[in-house]
């Protein structure tokens, strides 16, 4: 569908001559300046009590100035373009403090962990606000004249999110085989927001403040009937702050917290003299009041996303110097109670969720050589995914392969004293040079991100 006029394009084929065509304006610019400072300490008060503390301060200035969205116009066989810019002025600072106490409870091992977190996230957005700039112009498909951006007209939004979190978790080892884990977390979120539009008007419903004080829980067990074989199950809840309220220029009208609930159970085993291992896990996840990006400036609220899945992974060394591994994930995700602009998307699959992902690889190491060398490769298969929440467009399944070789140079053959060894690696990614859709941003339903073409990489790392 054409973003600008709403016309339905139907099935189309992308002309290969356009795979490297740039439809951006000539004066586009993207950049960022960031500074992250952090420091802390660890203090062992005794042999069973330890305190860890970290303070941090992060500042960032970012800007994006370009034509952001391109849509094919079926009537004119040209490309419609918009104008988009956004600037961020962000400051995040806070402190995390942890205390761990190892003790006994009626001769049973016990570990108590507590955490206190405090932070503030201040961010000011300036973003193109004049609706008359969407779209701004039209260019040809094969020989676009880039042109220039024009005069920006910004909407400005200021957001302040204060967070105070406290949590307590306890692990009790009832027997050498059985451990019980439980925890509770209390959050206090406070969001304040104000702004002004490009035409000098004050946005509807602003300024405002909003407070939330959710309480979340978790409980789990681990059971190891024989050495190396562990069963586990867990239940946990969690809450996210109003992400759309602080990170979107035009958030949805709701300011509900996003809540999550997860059940997970599984088994892990390490056996055959530690030469083989496997893991099986199954989970059921529910996220309620989920913010969904609809376009580059607006998000809306979906009632719920229900996700069920099974994951299986294994690795083995059948003979010395040979490694084989594989993993697979089966996922079913569905929207529940999701209506937008008169359409029901309940039962649809969220964008970018693949029902099946499989990875596998193998390697062989010549460990007895003076300079040990390893050769290996891997393959990855990702099933079809949907481009947008309406499930009208499919990104086809793809399979890619990588190969690599590395050599370990021991310290005796290195000219630099103090180095333990150096590893030199050569890697080829996407060896078949497959062209595929790797990801789609639901905020830009006309676009997909193509996977990287065949790529050659040479790297070196050293340990001392």
d(CA 340, CA 293): 12
- What pLDDT, on the 0 to 100 scale, is given for residue 297? 63
Q: Which of 12-26, 215-229, 351-365, 400-414 has the lowest mean pLDDT?
A: 12-26
How would you classify the pairing of strands 108-128 and 78-81? unpaired
Neighbour tally for 304: CB within 10 Å = 16
40 neighbors 73 (Cβ within 8 angstroms): no
pLDDT score recorded for residue 248: 55
DSSP 8-state class, residue 391: -
Mean pLDDT of all residues in 175-182 = 96
pLDDT tens string 371-381:
999 999 999 99
* Alpha-carbon separation of residue 382 from 11, 310, 364, 377, 433 (angstroms): 22, 15, 26, 17, 16
Least confident of 42-56, 109-123, 253-267: 253-267
The rounded percent of the chain whose pLDDT value lies above 70 is 96
User: Each residue of 297-312: pLDDT tens digit?
Assistant: 667 888 899 999 999 9
DSSP string, 395-453: EPPEEEEEEEEEEEEEGGG-SSTT--EEEEEEEEESTT----EEE--TT-TT--EEPP-
Beta bridge partners of 315: 277, 325
Are 165 and 187 within 8 A, CB to CB?
yes
Task: Please give the structure tokens belonging to residue 342.
Answer: 């008169």
- Between 442 and 169, the more confident residue is 169
Q: Is pLDDT of 42 > 80?
A: yes
List strand residue ranges (DSSP E) for 317-397, in order.
Answer: 322-336, 339-340, 343-344, 356-366, 373-382, 385-386, 394-395
Distance CA 239, CA 333 (A): 19
Picking from 146, 115, 140, the residue whose alpha carbon sits closest to that of residue 52 is 115
Report H helices in 158-264. 243-247
> What are the chain's domains?
16-395 (2.40.170.20)
Percent of the chain predicted with pLDDT > 90: 71
| pTM score of the predicted model | 0.84
Query: pLDDT at position 128, please?
Result: 85
């Amino acid at each position: 569908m054409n973003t600008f006029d709403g016309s339905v394009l139907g099935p189309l084929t992308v002309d290969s001559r356009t795979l490297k065509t740039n439809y951006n304006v000539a004066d586009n610019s993207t950049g960022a300046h960031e500074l992250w400072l952090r420091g802390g300490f660890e203090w062992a008060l005794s042999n069973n009590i330890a305190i860890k503390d970290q303070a941090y301060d992060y500042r960032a200035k970012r800007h994006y100035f370009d034509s952001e969205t391109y849509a094919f116009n079926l009537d004119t066989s040209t490309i419609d373009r918009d104008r988009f810019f956004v600037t961020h002025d962000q400051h995040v600072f806070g402190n995390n403090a942890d205390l761990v106490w190892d003790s006994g409870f009626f001769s049973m091992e016990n570990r108590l962990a507590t955490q206190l977190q405090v932070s503030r996230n201040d961010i000011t957005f300036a973003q193109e606000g004049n609706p008359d700039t969407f779209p701004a112009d039209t260019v040809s498909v094969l020989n676009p004249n880039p042109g220039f951006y024009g005069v920006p007209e910004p909407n400005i939004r200021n957001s302040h999110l204060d967070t105070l979190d406290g949590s307590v978790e306890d692990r009790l080892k009832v027997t050498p085989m059985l451990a019980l884990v439980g925890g509770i977390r209390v959050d206090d979120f406070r969001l304040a927001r104000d702004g002004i539009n490009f035409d000098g008007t004050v946005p509807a419903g602003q300024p405002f403040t909003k407070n939330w004080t959710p309480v979340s829980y978790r409980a789990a067990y681990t059971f190891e009937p024989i050495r190396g074989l562990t069963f586990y199950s867990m239940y946990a809840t969690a809450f996210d702050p109003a992400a759309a309220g602080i990170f979107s220029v035009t958030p949805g009208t709701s300011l509900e917290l996003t809540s999550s609930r997860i059940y997970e159970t599984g088994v892990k085993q390490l056996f055959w003299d530690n030469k083989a291992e496997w893991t099986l896990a199954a989970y059921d996840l529910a996220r309620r009041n989920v913010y969904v990006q609809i376009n580059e400036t607006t998000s809306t609220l979906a009632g719920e996303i229900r996700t069920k899945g099974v994951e299986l992974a294994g690795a083995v060394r059948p003979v010395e110097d040979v490694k084989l591994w594989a993993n697979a994930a089966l996922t079913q995700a569905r929207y529940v109670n999701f209506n937008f602009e008169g359409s029901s998307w309940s039962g649809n699959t969220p964008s970018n969720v693949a029902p099946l992902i499989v990875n596998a690889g193998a390697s062989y190491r010549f460990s007895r050589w003076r300079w040990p060398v390893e050769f290996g490769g891997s393959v990855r298969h990702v099933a079809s995914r949907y481009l947008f929440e309406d499930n009208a467009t499919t990104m086809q399944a793809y399979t890619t392969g990588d190969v690599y070789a590395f050599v370990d140079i021991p310290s005796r053959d290195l000219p630099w004293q103090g180095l333990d060894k150096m590893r030199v690696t050569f890697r080829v990614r996407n060896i078949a040079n497959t062209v595929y859709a790797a990801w789609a941003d639901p905020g830009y339903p006309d676009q997909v991100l193509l996977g990287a073409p065949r790529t050659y990489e040479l790297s070196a790392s050293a340990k001392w």
